[in-house]
Amino acid sequence: MFPGQGSQSVGMGRKLANRYPVAQQTFEEADAALGFKLCHLCWEGPEDKLRLTEITQPAILTVSVAAFRVLREHGIVPTIVAGHSLGEYSAHVAAGTLEFGDAVRAVHLRGRYMQEAVPVGEGAMAAVLGMPINQLQQICDESAQDGVCQPANINSPDQIVISGSKSAVERAAELAKQRGARKAIMLPVSAPFHSALMKPAQDRLAPDLQALKLRKMSVPVVTNVDAEVVSDPEKARDALIRQVCGAVQWERSMRVLIERGISRFIEVGPGKVLCGLMRQIDRSKTCLNVEDETSLQKVA
């Protein structure tokens, strides 16, 4: 499993790059593909620049792929892969669908398009804890009024992120608290990701993704937008395009994997967000993360 935006931190990937030539080489490939030193931003910051969507996305992808390549050198290979939002691109690099350089350039543009789709301050996202999706969907519909408000990341039975117009999301967060949600927290994000407001970004990204050469997958990938296991590169391309505006069906994706008999999950890349969500989805499953030498030893 590969994490998405929000898992970044200054220093990520540095220890792996210092120790493993394949990780160092991954950062060098990313620097060459982008034409600037992404490695310096990952390892030294500054944090406010690393948080810029067009930097965050290629940075997390690069750290995730570096960690994946180190794992592969240790003989640990997946039978199936999934990624949360941006992480779906990391999953496709792992599956061999996408060349790493192509993926880095694509997510750099994806981040820029998403950032530019909505003027700063007009969109918002909020995390709602402890409320079922059908009830929250109703609140979103009520709150939208003349704006947009919709579930964006259906992460676990306990956590759903909503996205859309700032005033509509604020109304929905307040209503959710009034109607029994344990918490509703406005998130410090720069744009209303995975909402209809991202349509300009989706329209700009589509030709870029259509132009990419996709290869036959070595393992299947679970798509965010449909929670569907795909092995056809064209289906994968279509899902990546629709994912910009569509909700991340993470809980459903994990349940699809569990139904297929998967019992050992490895989060590959910075942070432990996805392992935390797995505990909320099914505590009986083993979930490990790999982001540095210490965590690698526990898996390898």
Contact between 173 and 129 under an 8 Å Cβ cutoff? The reply is: no
Please state the separation of Cα 204 from the chain's center in Å.
Answer: 19
Give Cα separations from 229 to 29, 153, 225, 240 (angstroms).
29, 18, 11, 13
Give Cα separations from 240 to 66, 190, 213, 267, 299 (angstroms).
22, 21, 14, 20, 30
Active-site annotation, residues: 85, 194
- What tokens were used for 291? 């982001």
- H or E element that contains 170: helix 166-178
Long-range pairs for 132-139: beta carbons < 8 A, 24 or more residues apart: 132/157, 133/160, 135/179, 136/160, 136/162, 136/172, 136/176, 136/181, 139/172, 139/175, 139/176, 139/179
The single-letter DSSP state of residue 248 is: B
Phi and psi of 24, rounded to 5°? Answer: -55, -45
For the sheet containing 183-186, what is the strand order?
A: 149-154, 159-165, 123-129, 183-186
Phi and psi of 171, rounded to 5°? Answer: -60, -45
Nearest to residue 147, comparing CAs of 160, 165, 134, 172?
Answer: 165
Using CA atoms, how far apart are residues 90 and 79, in angstroms rounded to an integer?
15
